[in-house]
A and B are shown apart, each in its own frame.
Chain A
């Protein structure tokens, strides 16, 4: 790695300013954030690498279209307050996006510097300026349009819902967010671990919206506590559904209900939302496996594996049925996981779980896979290799093989049309559903995707809702 960096430095004038990180050995046993952030000097130096392109590719690559050269120029000149204000125009969650966006395939992937060397560290700079504002900013709020008297209900407080709420409150509408959990933040809170996205940041982003006037009502399960039609009857003129894709998928192989097998949703919710890693200082327990297997190859699998390590596992193995190339996790996440000591068992698939007489997991039988012809997803289909079965010992297994649509709300709202997988049908340009006055966006429409794509969908829906409130359906 070091050699590679030197080569790149020679090619470009100046190399990218690396962001300091906690040492892998140390961080693998704590829940503190892995990257430590830029100092103002580092940020200004990195910002000065930006070529300020006339037709910037980075902006094209950003799902919410942030004026990236604009905010970077302001960092370079040391005008941090002006810079964050510039970001806020397009993105109300910069501290989150700077941390969890897949910049390498978005803005940074399109950076002209990437052609010859390293792209500008756009994510790191976005994160810096958001963190700087939180630590040193005046707390002054962006301007808000005069009240329209229109009321909007936002269901779900994940990235899509927060974006819709932030956009519409600034346009002068009354906004109430309904959250089923006892705390707002959605996947940012229950899904993404503390060491990738400190929960204090999520709380502060929500607090920012509350200061703008957004009402947040937790403990309301729309579809159970209130129905969609009751929201309209209560005087809401538009409803946005940002429900997420919260239904865990399992392998459906024998032994899956043994004690010691958890969905990644459950494991991460215990760790993140309930802070079970602090047990017994908090009351929610979490299984602390010594020998842990995580099934899956996405970001959630990496999060689960790295959490298991931090909870004291001696060994964490990630079992994925395809090869490294097909792994859906971000390269940076897979790299961080490996650095910390997670072992990858690629081209491997579990066949059945093995339990003891107490119904607890003691291992699993796996089979080797090889790659065949490409399947519907365009990736080469994994095929079991006959007779290659072997046993992995483990006392905890986290199933991170994806999530689906939770039918709780849609099944109780028959006039809301869903596709065959249960995702809500919505216009991709506006987020409009087939039910009048109802919009949807994020994972509940697209299936599990990224924070920024959900925010992009939220942005489109907010614009469409604003149009509707001012002009009609």
Chain B
């Protein structure tokens, strides 16, 4: 069992942070890599990119949004409980080097994945501008972390309840108009990464995105995570999860993410009903 040693709820309980005891993984993991978690015997294998690791304490941290049965099941796990299985670190680490001026753009729980990359980019000697966004103020996560990890932080909310009103792409456009940027890293919902990539293409700025397609094993065995990048099929689990945003076929990725939407919906509803009747007792 992989014990949960710290648990926090964010975004009104829709986003959960878990620090998990996994010394072997903590020792090896680098920014950009992911783990696969499975809660129990009947559980599904869920890939999540790590938010941070602490090799000395032997822990890794994941931050996930509750979107279906499996993440709802994860949410029931408390400190002292554990995941039956945690596998990793998987995928290629982010290529970190001194490039000059870097913009890190994050949306939703993508900010959790973006954070260690932002920090590493700053530590590598880059001037790092961070832009994070959420639908509304209460859904914004890791603002303080991102402020510390960067030189300059811009916050956007869709409804204007906090920071600048609008999408992260608006803030990004201003930065791109203002100065020369050497690299953009964008991690968040697929539409956000798509629009960021469209924007930066116009400015000719290299853009890295981190993809989280459906996968089973995470080691290159199933091919469920295949994505089209530059007209070629790649496996996100071993060739990624990060790719050149200007080459990724985001529309295909969005369709592939819908593969099990019917099953997921039915499964989640049943779980919510069970939970509810349990709490009534």
Binding site for B on A (CB under 8 A): 180-182, 218-221, 224-226, 246-248, 250, 252, 256-257, 259-260, 262-263, 265-266, 269-270, 274-275, 279-285, 287, 358-360, 406-408
Contact = CB atoms under 8 A, between A and B. Distances in A.
Given A224-B28, A263-B223, A269 B217 contact: yes
A281 B267 contact: no
Nearest to B262: A285
Interface string B227-265: 110000100001000000000000010011011100110
B24 A246 contact: no
Chain A binding site: helix, strand, loop or mixed by DSSP? loop
A279 B224 CA distance: 18
B266 interface: yes
Contacts of A285: 260, 263-264, 267
A225 B38 contact: no
A248 B45 contact: no
B42 A246 contact: no
A221 B88 contact: yes
Contact of B217 (A180, A257, A407): A180
A226 B24 contact: yes
B220 to A, nearest CB: 5
Contacts of B43: 282-283
B146 interface: no
Contacts of B222: 248, 263, 265-266, 269
B252 A359 contact: yes
A182 B89 contact: no
B220 A283 contact: no
B73 interface: yes
B193 interface: no
A248 B221 contact: yes
Given A248-B222, A259-B256, A269-B216, A221 B87 contact: yes
Contacts of A280: 263, 266-267, 270
Interface of B is mostly: mixed
B221 A257 contact: no
B70 A283 contact: yes
B90 interface: yes
B25 A408 contact: no
A361 B228 CA distance: 17
B156 interface: no
B44 A225 contact: no
A312 to B, nearest CB: 14
A218 to B, nearest CB: 7
A219 B260 CA distance: 25
Contacts of A248: 221-223
B232 to A, nearest CB: 10
B82 to A, nearest CB: 13
A283 B223 contact: no
A64 to B, nearest CB: 27
B86 A219 contact: yes
Contacts of B87: 180, 182, 219, 221, 225
A161 B255 CA distance: 39
A279 B223 CA distance: 21
Contacts of B270: 280
B259 A218 contact: no
Contact of A274 (B24, B44, B220, B260): B44
B24 A257 contact: no
A221 B255 contact: no
Contact of A279 (B85, B228, B256, B263): B263
